[in-house]
Amino acid sequence: MITHWRIFTDVKKLADEYAVMMLSLFESENMNKDEIKGCAISSVVPELTIAFRDMVRRHLKLEPLIVSAAAGRVMHVNADNPSEVGADLIANAVGARALYGSPVIVIGFGTATTFSAVGADGNFEGVAIAPGIITGAESLISHGAMLPQVDLHRPEHAIGKNTILSLQAGIIFGFAGLVEGLCARIQEELGGNAKVVATGGLARLIAREVHCIDAYEPELTLEGVRIIYQKVKGE
């Protein structure tokens, strides 16, 4: 991997507006857009998929690979409606399978906390979706008139002596318990010997509190996108 960026996305922005940002980021890294020979887009927001596809066509002169449309050629999705499975989940599963083999469980710590299961045969078997850590905390605080905003830091004790520590204990240790519990159930359904890989911005925070996570891969999604692109393009 050469580099990566994280940006705030807005569905109201047009392709050319994103192009200005993209080209500025290229310039900041002394990257020449003419040296880019391929592009893959993994998106779960249809409006942004269209915007970024149009941006790539116009400003990079490339036809991008849309991961959601191509992922089925790399990993079989054993779900009632495979099109419902997000491109990011498939990319994570492909990346984890390539790095750690199968069976494997991928926990994505994002807006939602997702548990993706890949069976021993390498197929995507399904997913469990729980609230994200920040999403759950914000919902709790917004519905409690006397509850303050808190930083997500690990408290020393599970028994809080004030409101802040009590919230931190419930959020951090509560989600740790959620992760342990769901991992145990999914392990049992997969046969009990699956590696567990965590990814996402808050993965490190929870990984320290559980025993079921074997590895942390912060850029697992991008690794999966690369593998899907190369396999579909035959490289």
- pLDDT the model gives residue 150: 73
- pLDDT the model gives residue 148: 66
- pLDDT the model gives residue 146: 60
Tokens of 32: 């020449």
CATH homologous superfamily of 85-220: ATPase, nucleotide binding domain (3.30.420.40)
- pLDDT the model gives residue 145: 60
Catalytic residues: 88
- pLDDT the model gives residue 222: 94
Q: Residue ranges per domain, the chain? A: 15-63, 85-220
Packing angle, helices 133-142 and 163-190, rounded to 10? 140
Residues in the chain with pLDDT values less than 70: 144-148, 235
